[in-house]
Amino acid sequence: MRLYEKHILPRLTHLAMGQDQLLPYRRRAISGLHGRVLEIGIGSGLNIALYPEAVRQIIGIDPSPELLSRAAQTSHGLMPAAEMIEGVAEALPLEDRSVDCVVATWTLCSVSEPEKALA
């Protein structure tokens, strides 16, 4: 199972989520963000290039170290600054009220306890 989780699933996720027809939805979800932003389920970082200038920091959280590595590569050298954290939406390793905005695109379907994550 680890072979699938480590090598196959991250590539399939990146390819599926990177489809051109999803771009308008991504743009709309990202457009109003500002300040310090938490992106739950950052995946391979497909939203990073879309962040508006009003965003000064991105904190990306994802349970997949492989996807986080790809997101870190995507964000390297770009503004705003990005920090990647391995974790899950149900147990965010952040203080309450420490971010200005939260975004999640195509993520909650993979969260085991979406009510807890949204709280």
| The pLDDT value given to residue 1 | 55
CATH assignment at residue 109: 3.40.50.150
Using 70 as the pLDDT threshold, list the residues of the chain that sit under it.
1
| The pLDDT value given to residue 30 | 95
Q: What residues form DSSP beta bridges with 60?
A: 39, 84
Give the total number of structural domains in the chain: 1
**CB 37 within 8 Å of CB 103:** yes
| The pLDDT value given to residue 13 | 84
| The pLDDT value given to residue 116 | 87
| The pLDDT value given to residue 44 | 92
Single pTM value for the model: 0.89
| The pLDDT value given to residue 69 | 93
Report the length, in residues, of the chain.
Answer: 119
Domain residues for the domain of 99 are 2-118
The one-character DSSP state at 7 is: I
| The pLDDT value given to residue 39 | 96
